[in-house]
Structures are given as C-alpha cells and as structure tokens.
Amino acid sequence: MELSPLQKERYKYQPKLPEILKKDISAIVAVEGEATESVSDQQKIKELFPYTYGMREVSFAIGEQCAKEGRIKAGVILSGGQAPGGHNVITGLYDALKKANRENTLLGFRKGPSGLLEDDYIEFTDEYIDEYRNTGGFDIIGSGRTKLETADQFKIAMKVAEKHGLNAIVIIGGDDSNTNAAILAEYFKAHGSGCQVIGCPKTIDGDLKNDVIEISFGFDTATKTYSELIGNIERDANSAKKYWHFIRVMGRSASHIALECALETQPNLCFISEEVEQKEMSLEDIADQVVSSVVKRSANGDNFGVVIIPEGLIEFVPEVKKLISELNDVMALNEKEFNGLESWEEKYSFMEKKLSKESFKVFSILPLDIEKQLLMDRDPHGNVQVSRIETEKLIISIVERKLRKLKESGEYKGKFSALNHFFGYEGRCAFPSNFDADYCYSLGYNAFMLIRGGYTGYISVISNLSKPATKWKAGGMPIVKMFNLEQRHGEKKPVIRKALVDLEGKPFRYFASRRAEWAEKTCFTYPGAIQYYGPESVCDITTRTLKLEHS
C-alpha cells in the first residue's frame, strides 16, 4: 500500500492516555460508586433487566498490586456509521490486552454485528494492528448496521462466544448498538454465559451523551472537517460576493453537528431542528427567516451568505414529521404491495389512497425529487434515510418563490443566486484529530480495564475531556442507566435516550444570543484545517460545544 506523508507520520503518533491508565496495569483497581437507576421507567426496566439493573458506576484508581493476570480472549465489533477514531479504540484495546499478558488475544468480527452471527473474524497481530494506528475509517474490520436484537441472534452470539472461549465482546457503536449491547449482556448473564459485553460511545452525530459520557467519539473530527469546509466556503462567498450557499450537514436526528459548525464558523443562519420542533415552525416559516436575512443583507449591498441546515431538519418540521411517520407505517404495513409498484404514477396514487388527507396535501406540494426521496428504502430501524433527502434544495426553492413575489411587489431589488452542498461522508473517515486519536485510544484501553475487572453491560467512560488528556478520568457506567421506554414498531421498548440539542444549554444559548447579528452582518470565522502537529493551542483543542458545556 502506498502511504501518504501524513499517514507515515501518524503511525508514529503516540496517543495520550489519562494518568491513571499510564500506570502498571496490575496496579490499577476499580472503585465502585453509587448504585444506578435508569433515567426513567425504573420499575419496568428493573423487571426487564433483573441481572444487570442497578449496577454501580466504576472509576479506576491506584491500588494494591494484583497477582499475575490470567489469559483473556476478547472480540470486538464496529457497528453503524463510520466515525473518526474507531481504529484507535481497537488499537488501544489491543495494546492494553497485550500489555497485561502477551498471550491475550483479540478477534475482530468483520462487517459489523453480522460478523459475530456468521463467525466471520480475524485474529489481530502486531503487524496488522500497526497498519491502522491513528488512521480514519473502519476498514480495519469493516462495519455494518445489522441489529443484534432477537433471541435467536443472541443464542447464535452465545454459541460463537463459547466456541472461541471469549471472555468478552466489545461493541463500538451508537445509541442503538449500545442498547443492544446491554440487552446482550443481560441475555448472557441470564443464560449462564461468562462472556462480558462492553460498549464504547461512537457516532459523529454527538447524540450519545449524558452527565457521565461527555461526547461520543468522532464528533470532534467530523465537525472540525465540516467547519473547515464551511469556513472556506464563507471566505469564497465573502470574496466573490455573489452566491448564497445552503449547506446541509450530517446528523440523523440531533442538530449537534450543525450547532457546533455554526459556533465555529458564524454563518448568517443555522437552523436547529430541536428549536424548529419546539416552536412548531413550518417549512414556510423556515424559508421566511432566510428571506428576511437575504433582504436585509441585500439592503446593505451583500447579495451573498451562508446557511447551515441539519440533515434531520425535515423530520422535525411538524407537518413533515407527521407525513413521514404515516409514510413509514404505510410502507411497513404494505411492504410487498408497495415494492411491487413500478412506475412513479402508481406509487403516487397508492400514497394518495393510503395517506390521510392532510399528509397527502403536504406530500403533493413538495418538489418531485423530494417526494421521490421520501419514498426511498428505509434503514434497518425503519427510519427514512435523511442523508439522502436534499432538504437544502427544498428550502432554496421556497425561498426563490418568496423572493420572486417580493420582487414583483418592489419590496426587494437584490440578486439571489443559490448553491447547495451536503457535508456528511467527507467527515466520517478523516484522520482523527489529536483529541479523537487520544480519546478513542483511551476508550479502547479503558474497555480492557472493565473486562479485566469482570464488568459486563458497561460502557467505557473517559471524562473531564475539556481538560488536557493528563487530567482525563477513566471508568465505566452501566448502560442500563441510560435507558427509558420508547415506542418502537408499535411497542414500548427499553432504549438509550438520545441526547438532542438542549435549548436551555450553554452552546445553544451562546448561538441564540449572537445569531441576529450574524443574520445581517458578515461575521464569518475561518477555522482552517485540522492541525496534527504544532502548538497545543491549535492541535489539541476540543469542540466549542464541549468547552461551553463544561465551562
């Protein structure tokens, strides 16, 4: 394989660990804290998780030297969308295993959870692992979106674990994957398997967090990558002064990515889905805000600007939310019949018959491309694949219509020329920033400490992240602590509660206090590219979100 100069240098980078994890492994002990409760629906969740409910939070400290470690064999899975740093979770886990005992082994199940079910794996070696240190991507073993959720799947997983004599399985994933990790842990315990299950918080979306998990990995690098690109576009816009750029950024539900990019780049407008839902804003209301900024800026002679749109926005606009929920039901309940329809006309009149009058009206006034995108295949969780819906184009078309009217009435004399962009996949496999390289390596290393301590149903926790890595803390949290009951496929199911943007939180409040000025004036800021080498003040900075949340 031909290596880029950066890749060669990144191989040499030694990720930073919290002080406690730098100690001799045999001298690190687990300190147990308070027993935990789930975030809500405690009684019901306690009944569903009799073996793993109420476990205690754990932190690591220096303790008495233990006897020589026994041999440990572990398996690891990457689950869901790529996030920068996934390779370092695995290298950290591998290094800790080997440091504790050279005879410990690590298996990597290929292509996500399906690798465990199909017993498709590789055994890691030093040479293999070294090729992936500090690199982006999940290509070390691949990832997948198969859900580990049925009793049949758990049975197979248990057989595979027994066949290999696995002491533990580490699942690196988002809220759904960690939900399933906790259910698997409960199943193993209930069925007498000694195989432990440990989760790791992954997702660029940043929505797997709470008072203990400060951020999921990958958010830092992905938002820095998008912010660099947005800053570059802002500078181009400010140079040419002739385009309005509409930039949609990834983030399936929560708008953390959009908000962080806005804090980094100060665009003219940024929509936050959670606010759109709370204020029950329609598509017309959203377009009106853009029009207001376009008209004001035009009066100042500025016929250019930048708007950030979270990819999940469309699902938070109440009228579209209702439409999508009806479409999901219609498509799930009539799957065979719907998939048998060939022409667009057939599909359209099928929806006319099945949707409520109100929702069909919303559907019918959408541009044809958006209508088609809304009828595309669902993901394995039955959700619309929002990354494939071009919401930015929809907003542009409504804004254009409104501006035409204003022109006709003489209220607006400017020029409006719009360009659209989507930043998603560009950020998911970037070389991890120093923060993500360090954080992920620590998460993996720490996952081994939880395995060694005999814990199961825990998520690896590295905290105090707004401080330098030497001050980071290491520990574990029972995954069930994050559970509540939510309606899924017509039933109440125990799942991790997704962390949406808190409209009372400091990051949103900071943004809200400045956005009126940004909408009218040009206040762009240009973050530039991620820096891997140079002053710490540039290379080791975390996100604005993390800084504000912990200030």
Q: Residues 205, 264, 302, 315: which binds ligand FBP (CB under 6 A)? A: 205
Query: Which segments of 243-316 are extended strands (E)?
Result: 244-249, 269-270, 305-310
CB of 202 to ligand FBP, least distance (A): 6
Q: Is 525 in the site for ligand FBP (CB under 6 A)?
A: no
The footprint of ligand FBP on this chain (CB under 6 A) covers a number of residues equal to: 15
Rounded to whole angstroms, how far apart are CA atoms 415 and 417? 6
**DSSP for 49-64, written as a single string:** -TTTTTPEEEEEEE-P
Name residues contacting ligand FBP, limited to 317-336 (CB under 6 A).
Answer: none
Which residues contact residue 521 at a Cβ distance below 8 angstroms, ignoring those fewer than 6 apart?
Answer: 300
The one catalytic residue among 205, 220, 436, 438: 205
Q: Look up 205 and say whether it is catalytic.
A: yes
Q: Is 273 in the site for ligand FBP (CB under 6 A)?
A: no
Q: Residues 232, 334, 387, 464: which binds ligand FBP (CB under 6 A)? A: 387
Rounded to whole angstroms, how far apart are CA atoms 344 and 328? 18
State CA 280 to chain mean position distance: 25
**Tokens representing 446?**
């720490």
Helix, strand, coil in percent for the chain, rounding step 5? 45, 15, 35
Distances, alpha carbon 137 to alpha carbons 70, 89, 447, in Å: 33, 12, 20
76-84, 279-287, 317-325, 478-486 -> range binding ligand FBP (CB under 6 A):
76-84
The mark string for 117-156 relative to ligand FBP (x by CB under 6 A, - otherwise) is: ----------------------------------------
Residue 245 or 252: which CB sits closer to ligand FBP?
252
Which 8-state DSSP code applies to residue 384? B
For 166, the 3-state DSSP assignment is coil
Q: Is 174 in the site for ligand FBP (CB under 6 A)?
A: yes
Of the candidates 532, 526, 528, the residue with the CA atom closest to the CA atom of residue 431:
532
Q: What is the CA radius of gyration of the chain?
A: 25
Residue 243 or 246: which CB sits closer to ligand FBP?
246
Helix pair 391-408, 283-299: axis angle to 10 deg: 60
Q: Residues 171, 331, 386, 499: which binds ligand FBP (CB under 6 A)? A: 386
The mark string for 233-272 relative to ligand FBP (x by CB under 6 A, - otherwise) is: -----------------xxx--------------------
Residue 81 or 108: which CB sits closer to ligand FBP?
81
531 beta partners: none
Residue 88 or 298: which CB sits closer to ligand FBP?
88
For 46, the 3-state DSSP assignment is helix
75-83, 228-236, 341-349, 499-507 -> range binding ligand FBP (CB under 6 A):
75-83
Catalytic residues: 205
Binding site for ligand FBP (CB under 6 A): 80-81, 83, 174, 202-205, 250-252, 311, 386-387, 428
